[in-house]
């Protein structure tokens, strides 16, 4: 075999190996997920595809307002998407129509109907997060099964990419949570 042909074969193999390595690394950091259900309406719809940054919380914690994907604590084979309302150390209080975090009532532009099942209070411990769906009337979330343990979190939703009319970067509505004390 000629030296030129050997060099060409080696370059093709190197290119394929490098491409596979890059794809593998991307898959470790970013993953697509399909939303299932209506708990995040009106911002996310059933069957919509979103990109999740799985490395977002390697060196930090989820923040209030982040939309996250996580393993459902009561059945870790299921994957849920919800919004972070409370972080470790927070006290969350709900009435039938309001949510307060550390005494500050939230004005939530991302929900269509304010609705809670009952008046309750939760004090979040270390590595616990309070998550709620944006469609409060149709959401299986922390109001029902309690705080979410950090270990169940897969990553932060950063963008919607399908269907095409839903393409966009995800906002965390940080202004909604601006008055609440800084996270620890």
82 has catalytic annotation: yes
The C-alpha atoms of residue 63 and residue 81 are separated, in whole angstroms, by 15
4 has catalytic annotation: no
Selected catalytic residue, list 82, 139, 142, 172: 82
The most distant pair of C-alpha atoms in the chain lies apart, rounded to whole Å, by: 80
Q: Which long-range contacts (CB under 8 A, 24 or more apart) does 73-80 make?
A: 73/145, 73/146, 73/148, 73/149, 73/152, 74/145, 76/152, 79/33, 79/36, 79/154, 80/39, 80/131, 80/140, 80/141
Selected catalytic residue, list 2, 4, 39, 175: 39
What are the catalytic residues?
39, 82
């Amino acid at each position: 075999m000629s030296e030129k042909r050997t060099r060409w074969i080696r370059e093709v193999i190197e290119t394929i190996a490098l491409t596979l390595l890059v794809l593998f690394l991307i898959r470790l950091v970013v993953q697509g997920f399909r939303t299932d259900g209506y708990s995040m309406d009106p911002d996310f719809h059933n069957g919509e595809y979103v990109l999740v940054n799985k490395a977002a919380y390697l060196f930090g914690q989820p923040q209030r307002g982040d939309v996250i994907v996580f393993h459902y604590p009561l059945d870790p084979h299921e994957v849920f998407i919800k919004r972070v309302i409370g972080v470790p150390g927070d006290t969350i209080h709900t009435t039938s129509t309001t949510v307060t975090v550390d005494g500050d009532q939230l004005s939530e532009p991302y929900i269509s109907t304010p609705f809670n099942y009952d008046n309750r209070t939760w004090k979040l411990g270390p590595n616990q997060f309070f998550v709620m769906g944006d469609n409060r009337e149709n959401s299986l979330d922390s109001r029902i099964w309690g705080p979410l343990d950090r270990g169940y979190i897969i990553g932060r939703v950063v963008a919607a990419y399908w269907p095409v009319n839903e393409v966009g970067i995800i906002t965390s509505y940080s202004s909604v949570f601006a008055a609440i004390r800084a996270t620890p």
